A and B are shown apart, each in its own frame.
Chain A
Amino acid sequence: MTIYLPGDVVNEPSSSDSSIIGYGINVRGETKVASQPGVYRSDEGKMWLNVHSKRYIPQEGDRVIAIVTSKTGDFFRLDIGTAEYAMVNFTNFEGATKRNRPNLKTGDIIYASVFDTTPRTEAELTCVDDEKRARGMGQLNGGFMFNVSLNHCRRLIHPECKILQTIGKFFKFEITVGMNGRIWMNAAGVDDIIKIHDVIVKSEFVKEDDELINLVQNGYTRSVSD
């Protein structure tokens, strides 16, 4: 596991046959040069660097958690943590028609997917897939939202990561992870929300081993306050 700093030439043995160059690597002529600090990863013909960062840059296909800031005409204006605002057309919700508009107010949050990121314009999001079905997207009701870094979000939803599973052994909860560093979750009571929030935030710098189980166990048994 080697780290690449910006300006390093990426010289991995599998790099010659990889066809898709991903995040963090630029191609200059014949050489592949890292442009962000990260650990090299490769999988099935794709190569990229796993970068640690906190600020989201919109990518098509990402599922993000967006906060509604205003309503203008046919669009809702959203904040997804990027430089420009994002927007979603009110027809891009499941079951929405011209008469039946989604009832969102300022401060509500939705889970949507990015489908258009033309530079210098607002990113456009949608809450339905091509067949007009929600597939888990749409408004998130109740619960609690908080921020973590982007790499932690990616780690949480990785199939081999055991953090959420371990938490699930002790708590009953539901969770949605946005690629823009925002996590929404709902649990039985305020106590549980506070404990799970603490565990998820602290697990960012804990490796996947016994330390993790200890962390979750301590979180479960710790009392919130008297």
Chain B
Amino acid sequence: MVGRLREMRCEVSFLKNADGSASFSQGATCVWASCSGPGDVHASKANEEAMTLDVSYRTNCGDNKFHELNNIIQSTLSKAINLELFPHTSAAVTIHGIQDDGSIGAVALNGACFALLDNGMPFETVFCGVLVVRLKDELIVDPTAKQEAASTGRVLFSICRGSDGGPEVCSMDAIGPWDFEQLEAAWCYAQPSARAIFDFYRNVMQRKHSVDEQ
């Protein structure tokens, strides 16, 4: 088993128009994410009880109406944000995949969380994404594009923080044949990965808020 998290880089608040924006990269995989809200909503889409969440993952080329990542990102965000706090409003989360060198799903989730943190909207828990692939009976965390293309099975964990502060699976997307032990082994490697990513969130936010030191 190879457990290695690539170098992470992030810049927040760099877009002028979005309420919260983040440019996040792991290795050579890079996404730009933005989160605007809670704002007004058109009457046709308004929900009287909760906030309408408009989430979209967009790729470089091609039609963007349907993408497989929209499902896991939407379900993670619906769990992370308490939508009933802001009835009759809407929020738009957009994630652009700028460069794909493997584990784009995980990078998109992390970028979305940074955008949400930069927005300052209230939500329940931070979340992150980790991709684990199986390559010839070996499990690899955070694979590059070459490793991902050659893999026989992929599982994308969407991890949030449980009530005890430790990582907890919020959503999962598995492709290919996996048996239970392999999934558990993948989860063993995903957890320290998640902790490292949560620490990175803390460092970046700490640095951004250091202007308030008085």
Task: Spell out A's residues near B (CB within 8 Å).
Answer: 1-3, 5-9, 24, 26, 35-39, 50-55, 57, 83-84, 119-120, 150-151, 155, 160, 204-208
Contact = CB atoms under 8 A, between A and B. Distances in A.
B101 to A, nearest CB: 28
B117 interface: yes
> Chain A: interface secondary structure?
loop
Closest 8 CB pairs of A and B: A53-B120, A7-B125, A83-B89, A35-B122, A83-B40, A3-B206, A54-B19, A51-B120
A5 B201 contact: yes
A7 B124 contact: yes
Interface of B: 19-20, 36-41, 48, 86-90, 117-126, 160-161, 165, 198, 201-202, 205-206, 208-214
Nearest to B40: A83
A150 B40 CA distance: 19
B87 A119 contact: yes
6 contacts: A5-B202, A36-B123, A37-B117, A55-B37, A83-B38, A83-B90
Nearest to B126: A5
Nearest to A35: B122
A8 B122 CA distance: 13
A54 B20 contact: yes
A5 B119 contact: no
A150 B121 CA distance: 12
B87 A1 contact: no
Nearest to A55: B19
B123 A6 contact: yes
Contact of A83 (B88, B121, B124): B88
A1 B211 CA distance: 11
Contacts of B88: 83-84, 120
Contacts of B38: 55, 57, 83
B22 to A, nearest CB: 12
Interface centre among A39, A50, A55, A151 (most CB of B within 10 A): A55
Given A6-B123, A119-B87, 6 more contacts: A5-B117, A6-B125, A37-B209, A55-B121, A83-B39, A83-B41
A5 B214 CA distance: 21
B212 A36 contact: no
B152 to A, nearest CB: 35
Contacts of B211: 204-207
A6 B201 CA distance: 11
Given A3-B205, A5-B205, A36-B122, A55 B39 contact: yes
B120 A52 contact: yes
A50 B205 CA distance: 12
Contacts of B210: 1, 207
Contacts of B124: 6-7, 35
Contacts of B213: 1, 207
Contacts of B126: 5-7
A170 B160 CA distance: 50
Q: Output the residue of B39, B117, B121, B211 with the most chain A CB within 10 A.
A: B211
Contacts of B48: 120
Contacts of A160: 214
B130 to A, nearest CB: 18
A5 B125 CA distance: 8
A8 B123 CA distance: 11
